[in-house]
Structure 1
Amino acid sequence: MPAASGTHTAGRPLRLPRSARRKQLLEAAQEVFVAQGYHAAAMDDIAERAGVSKPVLYQHFPGKLELYLALLDTHSDAIVAKVREAMAATTDNKQRVEGAMRAYFEFVDHESEAFRLVFESDLVNDPAVRERVERVERGCVEAITETIMVDTGVSRDFAELLASGLCGAAETAARFWLAGGRRVPKDEAEQLIAALSWRGIASFPITGRDGGPA
C-alpha cells in the first residue's frame, strides 16, 4: 500500500523540498528492502510504497543499487557517530565501555531494520556494499582505538586489535539478542556485555618494551 501520507493534496502530488522527498524515498525503500531483500525488491515497489511515480524516484536515484547504497551510507554514519559520542561523553573508561555497548544495542533496538540492512545484507558480496560494511567496522574500531592507547599504554596495533574485539562482541551480542526476540531486557543485556568487556579491557597494564601488554 502506498505511503500516501504527506504525498498528495486534493488529488495532486505534493511538491516536497528535495531533502524531504529524498528522506521519504529512503524510508520507503528501507521498508521494501527489509521486507523483500535487495534482489526481490523492485523500483516499482519502492515508488508505490512512497506514493510517487517512478520518474520522481529516478530523479533522486538513478537505480536500485544507488538507492540501497544511500541507505547504507545513512545508517553507517549513524552507528559510527553513536560510538564516537560514547567515547566523548565521559572520561570514565568504564562508562565509555558501557556507552559503546549501549550504542550497538540502541541501534539494534530502535533501528532494527537499519541494522539488518547494514549487517545482514543479501548483497554483501557486491564490492560497493562490502566497502560500506567494512567502513562501519573500521569507523567503530577507530572511535575506540585512541582511547585504549591513551588509557592502557599499548601500541596502536594492540589497541586496534582490542578495539576490534570490543566492537565484535557488541555487534555479535546485539545481533544474537535481536534474533532471539529480545528475551533479556535491553538494559540488562547492555550491562551484561559491558561488564564482560570491561573486566577484560580494565586488566591491561602499561605496556612492556615491545609496545604490547606488560
Structure 2
Amino acid sequence: MATRIRATATTAAGTPRLRRSTSEVRELLLKAAHDCFQDKGYHATSTREIAQRAGVTEPMLFRHFGSKSALFERAVFDPFVEFIADFIVRASDLDAAAAKAPQLARHFVGGFFRIFVDHRDLIVTMLGQQDEGGQPRLAASVALDAQFDAFAEVVDSFVSVEGEQIMDAGLAIRFTLSFLLGTALADGHLFSLSEGDRSPDEVVQEMTDFVLRAIGHRIV
C-alpha cells in the first residue's frame, strides 16, 4: 500500500515543516495579532512580531491581509461577525411563536456585552483609527452591517409575533450596541460592574430590561 506523504516546506534552520492550509494560516495570524495588540497596543506592535508569534513569514502576513491596519480590523471585528452569524442561525431554528422576545434580547445583550468587555482596549484603538484623509478606517464594518441587517429581520419576526413593532429594527440594534459599548467602556469610571451587590447575570438582566423598555416592549 502506498503511503501518502503530506507536502512539507523547510524552515530557515533547515528542519522540515508541514505546509499549512490558507485557513490555518489566517487563523494563526488572527490569534497572534489579537494577542499582540492586546498585550502591547496597536502602535507598539510590529507585523514582524505578529508573524513570528504565528509561526509564519512576514510576507505571508501581507499576502493574506494586505496591511497591519487591515489585520487589526479583522482581529477585532471577527468576534462580532461570528457572534451575529451564530446568533442568526440559532434564532432561525427557534419557533417565533413559542420563543419570547425577552429571551432573544437577553442572549443578544449578554453576548455582545461580554465581547465588548473582553475586547474593550482593542475597540477603543479601532475607533481611533483613521485614514490619510482623517476619516474612520472601518472597511470590515461592511460585513458587520450586512449581519446587522440580517439580524434586524430576525428581530422583526419575533416582535411581530407578540403583536409589537419596532419602527426601525436596524437602528434599534445599533443604538443597543452603542449603549452596551458605552457601558463596557464606563466600567470603573461611572460605576463598577465587578463590585457591588449585583451579580454579572443580574446586571445583564437589568440592561436587557432597559433595552426592551426603550424599544417599547411591555415587560410583564
| 1:121/1:86 CA distance change after superposition, 3 Å | same
Partner of 1:190: 204
Could you list the runs of 5+ residues in structure 1 that have no partner in the other structure? 1-7, 205-214
- Cα displacement (A) at 1:47: 1.7
Whether 1:40 and 2:44 are equivalent positions in the alignment is yes
Q: Is the 8 A contact 2:29 2:50 kept in 1?
A: yes
Partner of 2:178: 168
Q: Report 1:1-214 matches (<5 A).
A: 11-84=15-88, 87-88=91-92, 89=94, 91-108=99-116, 112-113=118-119, 116-118=121-123, 120-121=125-126, 123-126=128-131, 127=135, 129-133=137-141, 136=144, 139-140=147-148, 143-144=151-152, 146-147=156-157, 150=160, 151=162, 153-154=164-165, 156-157=167-168, 159-177=169-187, 180=192, 182-183=194-195, 185-200=199-214, 201-203=216-218
How far does the alpha carbon of each residue in 1:127-175 deviate from its partner, in whole angstroms, 9 at most, with x for none?
5733434764674476245247624554644x44444433333333344
In structure 2, how many angstroms separate the alpha carbons of the residues matched to 1:141 and 1:174?
Answer: 24
Q: Is the 8 A contact 1:22 1:60 kept in 2?
A: yes
Q: Is the 8 A contact 2:73 2:138 kept in 1?
A: no
Q: Is the 8 A contact 1:97 1:194 kept in 2?
A: yes
In structure 2, how many angstroms separate the alpha carbons of the residues matched to 1:60 and 1:161?
Answer: 33
1:190 alignment partner AA: V
1:169 alignment partner AA: F
In structure 2, how many angstroms separate the alpha carbons of the residues matched to 1:28 and 1:101?
Answer: 28
Structure with greater helix percent = 1
- Cα displacement (A) at 1:186: 2.6
Q: Is the 8 A contact 1:43 1:54 kept in 2?
A: yes
- Cα displacement (A) at 1:122: 5.6
Aligned sequence identity (%): 20
2:46 alignment partner AA: A
- Cα displacement (A) at 1:124: 3.1
| 1:42/1:164 CA distance change after superposition, 3 Å | closer
Q: Is the 8 A contact 2:116 2:184 kept in 1?
A: yes
In structure 2, how many angstroms separate the alpha carbons of the residues matched to 1:120 and 1:30?
Answer: 12
TM-score of the superposition, structure 1-length normalised? Answer: 0.67
2:113 alignment partner AA: F
The count of residues paired between Structure 1 and Structure 2 equals 193
SS of corresponding position for 1:129: coil
Q: Is the 8 A contact 1:28 1:49 kept in 2?
A: yes
In structure 1, how many angstroms separate the alpha carbons of the residues matched to 2:111 and 2:90?
Answer: 7
In structure 1, how many angstroms separate the alpha carbons of the residues matched to 2:143 and 2:121?
Answer: 16
How far does the alpha carbon of each residue in 1:35-58 deviate from its partner, in whole angstroms, 9 at most, with x for none?
233233211111222233323433
- Cα displacement (A) at 1:82: 4.9
